[in-house]
Amino acid sequence: MWPLLAEAQGTYFRGSTPCILDQILVSRGLLTGEAGMKINTASAEVVYCPSMMTKNNTPRRFGRPSSTLDIDGASDHLPVGVIVTG
């Protein structure tokens, strides 16, 4: 996930500053292929889905008790993804 932060990508934003809080943890077997499957570490990405973003390019929050509820919002974090081959 560090390379993504170096590219100013983030899974969570403090104001307009991107932060990487969300990680993908894998076993040694997935890193080496011993598990019958292997993870492609270079494929790690923050998933930017347009419907989940605000006009400021930050996550569209669902809401919380102290704010207005946006029923079309998703989360205050963006999802992460990685390719696993078998």
How many distinct structural domains can be found in the chain? 1
pLDDT score of 57: 81
**What per-residue confidence (pLDDT) applies to 32?**
93
52 residue type, one letter: M
* pTM of the predicted structure, to 2 decimals: 0.76
**Contact between residue 39 and residue 86 where contact means Cβ atoms under 8 Å apart:** no
CA atoms within 13 A on the CB side of 66: 0
pLDDT for residue 33: 93
Its domain, for residue 39, covers: 2-85
pLDDT, tens only, 15-69: 888 888 888 999 999 999 998 999 999 999 999 888 888 888 888 888 766 677 7
Q: How much is the pLDDT for 31?
A: 92
Question: 6: helix, coil or strand?
Answer: helix
